[in-house]
Amino acid sequence: MNSLFAIFGGLGAPEIIVLVILGVLLFGRKLPDVGRYLGKSIVEFKKGVRGLEDDLDTGSGSVGPAAPQEAIRPPQRVAATAPKFEDSPAAAPTPPKA
């Protein structure tokens, strides 16, 4: 129980209850989705940290051949033009004559 209070920075039980009630009021039915996305993001973060640790462990001891780098290509120009509208009266439809 001491670790729970250490995580929340010494918040008491009433403060935690108020935060839970606010969370339920704000998220309502989407609360399970929010929890699911939060859990997925934590798992992805841990995978990333583990991958960095593995890279540091394997990369520091051995010097292997460098992976071939793809040549850097210059940026391509894209011709972006605005549509052109004709202001001539011939292009405008003429009203029928009575």
> Which pLDDT belongs to residue 27?
80
Q: What's at 44, amino acid-wise?
A: E
Q: What is the pLDDT along the chain (98 residues), one digit of tens a residue?
A: 556 556 656 778 898 899 889 888 888 888 888 889 999 999 999 999 888 888 877 765 445 555 667 888 887 877 777 666 666 655 556 667 76
Please indicate, yes or no, whether the overall pTM of this predicted structure exceeds 0.85.
Answer: no
Contacts of 19 (CB under 8 A, 6+ apart): 11
Among all chains, which residue has been given the structure tokens 């011939």? 90
Please give the pLDDT value at position 75.
Answer: 79
CB 42 within 8 A of CB 35: no
